[in-house]
Amino acid sequence: MHLIIAEKHDAAKRIAQILAGSKPSSQRVAGVDTYCFDDKVVMGLSGHIVGVDYPPEYNSWQKVDCKELIRAEIVVRPIQEKIIAALRSLGKRADLITIATDYDREGELIGVEALKIVKEVNPSLRADRVRYSAIVKEEILKAFKDSGKVDYYLAASGEARQIIDLVWGAALTRYISLTSGRLGKEFLSVGRVQSPTLALIVDREREIQSFVPKAYWEIFADLEKELRVQHAEGRIWEKAEVDAIIARLAPIAIIKSIETKPRIDKPPAPFDTTSFISAASGIGFSAANAMRLAEWLYINGFISYPRTDNTVYPPSIDLVALTRLFLKGAFSEEAARLLKGKMQPTRGKRSTTDHPPIYPTVPATKDDLKDDQWRIYELVVRRFFATLAEECVWDATSLKVDIGPEPFRANGARLVEAGWRYYYPYSKAEEHILPKLLEGERLAVLGHTVDAKETQPPARFGQGKLIKIMDDLGLGTKSTRHDIISKLYARAYVQGNPMRPTNTAYAVVDTLQKYAPTITKPEMTQTLENDMTLISERNIKEDEVIEKSRVMLTSVFDELTSNQEGIGQSLKDGLRTDKIVGTCQKCKSDLIIRRGHKGTRFIGCSGYPECRFTLPLPRFGTLIVTDKICDVHGMFHTRIINKGKRPWDLGCPHCNFLEWQAKKAQEKADPAQTKEDAKPKAKKAAGAAAKKKAKPLAEAKGDGLVALSGIGPKTLEKLALAGINTAADLAGAKAGSLAKMTGISPKKIMAWQKAAGAMS
């Protein structure tokens, strides 16, 4: 039996269909779907089916010295038990196994992991490797015809990365989290690539915050023939000079010179992963989402492999034949026009032999794809066309004008030949047509304007721009950079796009840069990345690189441990600001995010116990304090991040709470209408589980009150209408007055107050 291993289930299904030439039969083995035809079985993995980890005795963060992790034993643990069982079952019957995972460092390692498992039960099994860049018939059939050997050195470089990232991430994350006292779900993550990337974002934000704007002025004049010209000096830095220029202006402008010459815009280079993510970011896709969609399009045969550093089409791709495929369908006009030209492909700066640039493999229609899938597919198609198109040609006109003794100028541009811009509308360039003029012509000055402006700080990094910088600095790889950025969001280190660091990010980066700067600089990561490449090229052994990384990490820990007290204080001081939500309107103390005894979360006044003002918060999710301030309550808006879900913007916690109170009061006043309003929502009840965590803030006020015996939903409403929203409010209320307002017996209230006081 011939066993074929693909990286994912969908890829296995498609490869099986291509090889079988018809629909293969499906068979479940150990709970895993496989595809059978002739004497062949194709099964898909689910990425890595085993992973590297520490033995169980290293699980306790508090009991294990972080530095021990640097040289602790590394073990391999199963991740996908069912897939492993299926591999063993099929492996016993196989006489040949073909590794057909993605052809890159990660894919080779995934294939070798599967091969090792199979060889445990069948040591004499023969093995080969197929490599392809697109899951289309011609390429898959060619790959299986020209199969080669498994590249154990490439896999070893991937394994080295796994081990190095585990050791660095585990040791440093535990150390920083323990030193700062941030444990549990709010631990502080530190990583070999993640931390220097975060430092880039924080350093840019510091540049923005420290930027001192400088005033300047620009002078414009409006002439006859709807011509607007600007003073030739451009930015003028002194207001006195502006006034002097204005005083010298004459009522008549004289055309001194008109120069027109062609300007050429060269076509863009083919897409590699970095430029693809940058372009996708420009049309509204996050890096992770763009790669997820590209991966789907690749597995389903619409585009080539999206993880590539190559920007030069190899000779093996028949670009003309590929373009002809698009003569029917959504891009028929573009394809027909392109085929009439020279079709000379552009060449980027990087040429590799593993995969070609990203290109479309087959025509598709909008009906074949979902909207987001189509937008990414169209981007790839249009970029492919643009790389085969001719140059864009402009007539660029430079105009010089004298108004009295003062020189002015204007520039115009007229599109002569759209070239590649016809196919690729994402890179826009507008025409600016000047009126017909003659040298020496005199035009009346209709008026002038002076625009007062200021220099602007550097821009924050968008995801596409950051990935380009990471690429330039050697931070991460084409396959991992978008994941690193996703982690920064998930860890609540950054928010928004362009990215802004949170106070937590400032605290971590400031501390590391002061006490262990090696972690925040790209040079260390560059060195290890280069070493991992040398492993794949057979120039250095895996064990040598891992040992080198351990020596580097030991040096980092020497810096950390010698400054432990300062690091702890620096982190705690910085992290405290991340918990401040605003100023208490009652006593002017800081309002701070706090946790209750049972893991509940609320906003409490730092003036406690003198001031008992509190507001409830949701129990789950990472809470981020944004820089947007409520005009009414002076509180920062907040946001909740739950992994795998869209961020939930809570807004002002006080406003949210008041909205909840008003809603409950309305429901009590008119329950019939509330019931009627709820009918349409009943149909959506099946999908409401994910939304339960996203309920208004005040519903979380049970995080304390509902824990008291005898307080249910109705009692909760009565207390809320009386201004009792938390256990602290209840403990500080006068029992007699509260009894009159709610109709609840004073005896019961006093019993609750005793319990609430213990909770507070």
Please state, in angstroms and rounded to a whole number, the distance separating the CA atoms of residues 378 and 376: 5
The residue with tokens 């990215």 is: 499
Tokens standing for 288?
């992770």
The residue among 626, 618, 622, 625 whose CA lies nearest residue 601 is 618
How distant, in Å, are the alpha carbons of 11, 53, 89, 179, 386 from that of 43? 9, 26, 12, 46, 38
CA angle 190, 192, 195 (to 5 degrees): 50
Q: Please, what sign has the CA dihedral across residues 136, 126, 113, 273?
A: negative
The residues that are catalytic are 305
The residue among 713, 700, 712, 703 whose CA lies nearest residue 759 is 703
- Report the relative pairing of strands 614-616 and 601-605 from DSSP bridges: antiparallel
Q: Are 3 and 43 in contact (CB under 8 A)?
A: yes
> Which value, in Å, is the radius of gyration of the alpha carbons in the chain?
33
Please state, in angstroms and rounded to a whole number, the distance separating the CA atoms of residues 157 and 540: 10
Tokens standing for 190?
């530190």
Coil, strand, or helix at residue 29? strand
CA angle 581, 584, 585 (to 5 degrees): 130
- Report the relative pairing of strands 40-44 and 2-6 from DSSP bridges: parallel
CA neighbours closer than 13 Å in the CB half-sphere of residue 147: 17
Q: Are 717 and 706 in contact (CB under 8 A)?
A: no
- Report the relative pairing of strands 500-501 and 494-495 from DSSP bridges: antiparallel
CA angle 683, 685, 691 (to 5 degrees): 130
